[in-house]
Structure 1
């Protein structure tokens, strides 16, 4: 590391690392970029040589820098759909019927837990002990031999279908309660949502979702008069209780998959408090809460960071026996022809979960693509400003890129350690700046 610090090209190397925020595994390119004025055909600027771009991995265990960027984008995406006033979403969305919904998986066998009474006293686990918060046994089966690993993995693999059917059923329930035909629902109202998946300690995901009722045009259109928060909450409860996905076990036995009995529905308020006495949750805290779980690394206690390529990968993973058993079950089920459409071997490292961690309906708010485009436009505007070109000519500039991939990551451990230190200092500086801005009157 000392040798790298004394190297003649260190300052250039450091500037390159700082430009990508200290990304843990940058993508290295060689080639060039040319700016051309579309109307005149004049070359405005040229750059040639090597370039580094961030890896873009959302997992904090893989790349903290890119995970932070994804978390920021997730926050703005969710926040825009909650509060409006930005990203093309009007502030009037705060007057819509909205609910924060948590859907949980069913039970596939008793597990060690850490429960509390209404008075706040910790109850004993069924094993007879009172577990501390970080006890690795929490979430693992009391009886591993009797735990339904096949059912758990198959439920996990079907959560995408289950969510889709839940939304379809919710629309039907809303139409039914409003007294309108289901085919006419889209002409009077639209159901918008943003949801994120979070792993539980037992290795199964549950969903946190912001659900909103709009008019037929989406965020810019007010909902009909019959749409109320109470109606939305009741229809969510009915839809969650009735939706089901049917599949079969390896021996052909029918298997019905649905949501668990714990369905939490909370109204959303504008106040900047986490919760009030009647269980409401605020917009600001909720957006941060969902963004946190959108980027939460699945970690070594829940899943693997990379796809499983062979049985040897499973044998050498540093996991609990419970999560290794789930990965092994997904891997073994992937060999069976009847589960070929599920492609379980590809998703074994995710314990069978095949969905995206953050998804939304089309009309909920902006998109990740739009946010990335805004960021690129901002960088281009900075480049034009440095060249003395007015930013109002941005639309007339064409960017021609010609890059070739040459590799990923850093040259050695010394560079990786230095880049990690740069990333940590950048992150701490950003947090300090954010706290100062929050403290200003």
Structure 2
């Protein structure tokens, strides 16, 4: 028994079960290129891994403008709902226009206020007016001679002639919109015509723009020495609205890290995405980066792109809200928004994240640096036959953007584009 004493020894106290908390982590960082830079496509994919499409909900179709539908939508009714007349005339049954021997019938009884057309009857109808049930054609009034209670048939018609059949425009079950389509005023009208009053859509992403900078003041405020008006946050707020977001803008006048932390934390409750815009100083950038690091997980990287090489993103707060810090230079901020933030917003909306490019003929010499994506501001001209693009350059960044309607994409393999050669472009405002 001695050998088994251990089985009857003091009972070991059970260790309390502890739920291991899974600490949030950022996705694995993509591999850098030989120059230590992250490829643009890799960084876009990295950002897209931070978010998921927002949860869909039902909404009245009239309120769903610019929303992305989350399911295929089919017509619930026939349009027109009833067969209607294409002409002024008389609704008839074609079978009544011949007797049993196949000889033409000379006259039909003129009926009034009938829902179902009886044998040998005709009913007067106007253009677009519903014909009685049972009618299979319409005799134009030129084809008959109308008497007091009868019509004499001068010329017969074939089955379906001068008749618009029920469901001719839209049939029950016909596809109207597909999952991922964005509602506009025209297809909202189509949905209403098809008997649809509610749709399943994703909400517009809520974007909070946190503007900061020691030397920035609000538009309209008096400028002190060394100060400048904050234009970046207004530019990016408007750009986010153009994509389809609901935008809130908050200004922090300074670059104090703790003040920035508090401002960001206060906004997380209403944010699906936070975007930081700053002034151009190193201190402004470092203050936001420090606030982000204290609030969550941060990825700071240099991307093989010009302008906008330095990119910072992260997951902030307990809910791990995605946050992107844009460069301080207005052109760099705007280009970075188009390249990286637009796909994020489109993913949240449940829309296609792949942007459409157009081909255009370069009107002048364009130069780039091999190994990076270079996005030049351009003026795209389409005369209906040829699409051409010219580079726009201006020492005032906002003027340069204001004069541009496209971004010219020079890929990593391109060093020189000569006049007359074809380039790829993004049209601003088209996604």
**Fold agreement, TM-score > 0.5:** no
Which structure shows the bigger proportion of residues in helix conformation? 1
Q: Which has the higher contact order (CA 8 A, sep 6+)?
A: 1
- Bigger radius of gyration: 2
